[in-house]
Structure 1
């Protein structure tokens, strides 16, 4: 295998698509969800520690994150008790992220995303979300998650705007 990290990223994309066909919070959902989470950690670890860091690999990892996140949202949103303000908030976060990507493309002529600590915290919070949903009501969890994601997306947007 030429670049194991890339194969792991591709497997996350395939698993994320399979997630769309699972029942929310079922054993199949959690199995695929956990495998996606493990693959996200594993591809970066392997890339860094085995000299497999490539520009393509970083883009593939980011694309895998996006596919996983969108699949996760499509499956989980119907089981959440989300009010319209939270939905609007999620849309605003998404628009900020898209703006950041567009600004990066206009400035650098390529797809650019930053793996900041706040972005990693957002990802970790998303990974914990389905487990927390089993334990408690979703309202407070979603507010905290949206706050973290808002700060992460604004941080990335400001970096993108200020970066030369």
Structure 2
């Protein structure tokens, strides 16, 4: 089965197609004005270029993701609301998740009691895994550290501002 993963970031999105024996990669620019419609257009173009019809698709995005829906993304506000209902694809959409949680899923190992993964890019995120299971918090939106408030001698700032 062919698998397409899309890692959407604040400045670029990485499309990675896993084929039998090799991997194809393609990058597109994103940014504050990047919208769901543009993501759908890029997916459609990728499907045409590689003649994809029956494949699996997974999307990782920055921001707060709950139940396969992007609730809030400061760096890409045009993607807010991204969900199974808004993604247009010829494939089977498996999940939409937070990018840091996707990174932790790819690296965590049940042999470790606790693991931490911190990513710094357009935003700052952290994921925690216990015994190989990613902890997503009581409401499923753990992981975004950037908006956390920090008190300093100069006043209150977000971690991203500092």
Check whether TM > 0.5. Answer: no
Q: State the TM-score, normalized to the length of structure 1.
A: 0.24
Which gives a bigger RCO, structure 1 or 2 (Cα 8 Å, sep 6+)?
Answer: 1
